[in-house]
Copies of this chain bind each other. A is one copy, B any other.
Amino acid sequence: MKVNTVFLNHAFIAETQASLLVTDLSIQRGYGIFDFFKTINGKPVFLDDHIARFYNSAKKMHLQISQTPAELKDIIAELMQRNNLPDSGIKMTLTGGYAADAYTLPAAQNLIITQTALTLPKGLQAEGTTLVTYPYQRQFSEMKTLDYAMAIWLQPFIKEKNANDVLYQYNGFVRETPRANFFIVTTEGEVVTAKDNILAGVIRKNILNLEDTGFQLTEREFSVEELYNASEAFMTSTTKNILPVLKVDGKEIGDGKVGKITTQLSALLLKKIG
B-binding residues in A (CB < 8 A): 6, 8, 15-16, 18-22, 24-32, 61-62, 91, 93, 95-96, 102-105, 112, 114, 139-140, 145-153, 155-156, 179
Contact = CB atoms under 8 A, between A and B. Distances in A.
A8 to B, nearest CB: 8
Contact of A155 (B95, B104, B155): B104
11 contacts: A8-B22, A19-B20, A19-B22, A27-B32, A28-B146, A28-B148, A30-B30, A30-B32, A31-B148, A103-B148, A105-B155
A31 B27 CA distance: 8
A147 B30 CA distance: 5
Contact of A152 (B8, B31, B93): B31
Contact of A156 (B62, B96, B140, B145): B62
Contacts of A32: 27, 30
A22 B112 CA distance: 8
Given A19-B20, A61-B153, A114-B22, A29 B146 contact: yes
B19 A95 contact: no
Contacts of A61: 153
A19 B95 CA distance: 14
